[in-house]
């Protein structure tokens, strides 16, 4: 998984033989600065986009291959035990309302580099069926985090924040989910501008100032926040141009950071109150879990619900999204749906993902690796 935070690739080796997945190993490969700059740039229209996206996709495939090698070494498992790689790719454009979403990453090259089957391009089939193509993790969240008798929210704080609502009975009510708005993307952008670092460590800089109320109120008037689910968003909307358009000029930078933290917390809490009523527990994953100031503010705004890390439920926060796409690859190979139409708005359940086979011959089919991991 490489998401909207654009910090690098997270890989897990996941065993789905039992009802609850076992994460055998985790690895992270950071993006080199040049690739990260190019991926940022490709989120907006620019010169020679087709060639630049193709070359960036090749670079991503090499990062993904490195992550596969690293996670197999960490697990001390041979590649022959792996049934498939589930590769999300890097989203560079997401416009489901116009009928498309684009993830780059060159899955064919990844299959060549690793010698493993690759399942990729998960989102486009849901979009073709009239859905948002996102979020896709809720089906996985339901399979691992639901608890009979307790309504829960799974909150992923990546570049974008998304919520999965797990009702107390999955038989009597549908799982829902949607992107609530920015999580780390604007916080990281502002920290890069004014601290010269990739992020505000533990939210300490933001915690040292008070939010600018007028600025916060202006940001919360963004129409996306009031739109009903199903909905999804990304850097196409919440980017530097959006932030600059909200600023009057002359604001103290640290106070802006505090305001952006409050924007993330308030937009999540508001969305949960509107669309996830009655949740007693909020299970948080993604890089935002490491932002102590953000986690404290979420706990205040979402009380009396308990706000806690996914680590308390068996999966470390940085591993959940990667595990979700390993699970989606398993679903695809088994001919099972990966989307939830109650989440994405698609016309029905669909098998998600395209398969890029490794090698040739009968022994290269997914069935030949039936007992392996993803």
Q: What is the pLDDT of residues 23-55, one digit of tens each?
A: 999 999 999 999 999 999 999 899 999 999 999
The reply to whether 125 falls in a domain is yes
Same domain for 330 and 310, yes or no, is no
Residue bearing the bigger pLDDT, 242 or 369:
242
Spatial contact of 184 and 199, defined as CB atoms under 8 Å apart: yes
Beta bridge partners of 152: 166, 281
Please report the pLDDT score of residue 298 as a whole number.
98
Spatial contact of 28 and 318, defined as CB atoms under 8 Å apart: yes
Beta-carbon contacts of residue 71 (< 8 Å; ≥ 6 apart): 11, 12, 13, 25, 26, 27
Tell me the pLDDT tens digit for each residue of 97-139: 999 999 999 999 999 999 999 999 999 999 999 999 999 999 9
Question: The domain containing residue 165 runs over which residues?
Answer: 138-318
The reply to whether 50 falls in a domain is yes
The secondary element (H helix, E strand) that includes residue 13 is: strand 8-15
- 24 backbone dihedrals φ, ψ, rounded to 5°: -85, -25
pTM (2 d.p.): 0.92
Spatial contact of 307 and 332, defined as CB atoms under 8 Å apart: no
User: Please, what is the average pLDDT of the chain?
Assistant: 95
Beta-carbon contacts of residue 254 (< 8 Å; ≥ 6 apart): 194, 205, 206, 208, 209
The reply to whether 1 falls in a domain is no
The reply to whether 273 falls in a domain is yes
The reply to whether 304 falls in a domain is yes
Cα–Cα dist 153/149, whole Å: 13
Spatial contact of 339 and 333, defined as CB atoms under 8 Å apart: no
Please report the pLDDT score of residue 368 as a whole number.
47
Same domain for 118 and 146, yes or no, is no
Same domain for 188 and 304, yes or no, is yes
The reply to whether 3 falls in a domain is no
Query: Dihedral sign, CA of 218, 222, 228, 234?
Result: negative
Q: What is the CATH number of the domain that holds 354?
A: 3.30.420.40
pLDDT class of 374 with cuts at 50, 70, 90: low
Same domain for 119 and 146, yes or no, is no
Q: Please state the rounded mean pLDDT for residues 302-309.
A: 98
Same domain for 146 and 207, yes or no, is yes
Same domain for 286 and 357, yes or no, is no
Q: How many domains does the chain have?
A: 2
Integer CA distances (angstroms), 136 to 16, 72, 116, 141, 338, in order = 18, 25, 23, 9, 7
Q: Please state the rounded mean pLDDT for residues 224-244.
A: 96
Same domain for 143 and 260, yes or no, is yes
pLDDT class of 20 with cuts at 50, 70, 90: confident
- At residue 185's C-alpha, the angle toward residues 183 and 186, to 5°, is 95
pLDDT class of 170 with cuts at 50, 70, 90: very high
Same domain for 166 and 271, yes or no, is yes
The reply to whether 51 falls in a domain is yes
Please report the pLDDT score of residue 3 as a whole number.
86
Instruction: Say if residue 362's pLDDT is above 90.
Output: no
């Amino acid at each position: 998984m490489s998401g909207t935070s654009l910090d690098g690739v997270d890989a897990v080796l996941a065993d789905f033989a039992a009802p609850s997945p076992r994460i055998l190993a985790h690895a992270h490969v950071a993006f080199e600065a040049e690739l990260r700059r190019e991926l940022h740039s490709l989120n907006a229209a620019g010169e020679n986009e087709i060639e630049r996206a193709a070359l960036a996709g090749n670079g991503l495939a090499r990062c993904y291959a490195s992550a596969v090698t690293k996670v197999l070494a960490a697990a001390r498992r041979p590649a022959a035990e792996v049934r498939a790689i589930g590769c999300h790719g890097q989203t560079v454009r997401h416009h489901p309302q116009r009928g498309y979403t684009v993830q780059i990453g060159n899955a064919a090259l990844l299959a060549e580099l690793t010698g493993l089957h690759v399942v990729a391009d998960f989102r486009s089939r849901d979009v073709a069926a009239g859905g948002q193509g996102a979020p896709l993790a809720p089906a996985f969240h339901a399979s691992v985090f639901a608890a009979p008798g307790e309504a829960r929210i799974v909150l992923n704080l990546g570049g974008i924040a998304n919520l999965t609502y797990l009702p107390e009975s999955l038989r009597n009510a549908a799982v829902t989910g949607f992107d609530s708005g920015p999580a780390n993307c604007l916080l990281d952008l502002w920290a890069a501008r004014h601290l010269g670092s990739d992020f505000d460590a533990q939210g300490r800089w933001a915690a040292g100032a008070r939010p600018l109320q007028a600025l916060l109120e202006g940001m919360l008037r963004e129409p996306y926040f009031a739109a009903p689910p199903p909905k999804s968003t990304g850097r196409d909307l919440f980017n530097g141009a959006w932030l600059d358009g909200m600023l009057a000029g002359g604001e103290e930078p640290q106070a802006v950071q505090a305001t952006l933290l409050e924007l993330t917390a308030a937009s999540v809490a508001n969305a949960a109150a509107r669309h996830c009523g009655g949740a007693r527990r909020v299970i948080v994953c993604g890089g935002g879990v490491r932002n102590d100031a953000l986690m404290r503010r979420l706990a205040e705004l979402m009380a009396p619900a308990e706000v806690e890390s996914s680590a308390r439920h068996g999966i470390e926060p940085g591993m959940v999204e990667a595990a979700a796409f390993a699970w989606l690859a398993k679903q695809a190979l088994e001919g099972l749906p990966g989307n939830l139409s109650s989440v994405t708005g698609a016309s029905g359940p669909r098998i998600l993902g395209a398969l890029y086979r490794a090698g040739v011959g009968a022994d290269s089919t997914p069935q030949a690796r039936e007992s392996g991991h993803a």
